[in-house]
Amino acid sequence: MSIATKRTIFRWIHIIFSIPILGYIYSPFEKIPNYAPATRFVFLPVMVLSGLWMWKGHVLWRLVSKRSA
């Protein structure tokens, strides 16, 4: 798999998992407790990790490749 394909996959994961967070933010106050656990423990961590991977993934990849060599 090429680097461009991986970047596109992570970008789409990031976008898709941010949609429920926007719904959580802009939902009526009475419905927030229904969305809170899924947002806190699933959507937000996946979005943060995919964002960090897109931002600094090249550094992690370089560290991992040096150790395995």
**Full 3-state SS string of 26-65:** HCCHHHHHHHHHHHHHHHHHHHHHHHHHHHHHHHHHHHHH
Confidence of residue 64 (pLDDT cuts 50, 70, 90): confident
CA distance 29 to 36: 11
pTM of the model: 0.75
CA distance 15 to 9: 10
Query: For 4-21, what is the mean pLDDT?
Result: 92
- The SS3 assignment for 17 reads helix
Q: Measuring CA to CA, which residue among 63, 54, 64 is closest to residue 3?
A: 54
Confidence of residue 12 (pLDDT cuts 50, 70, 90): very high
Q: Domain spans of the chain?
A: 3-68
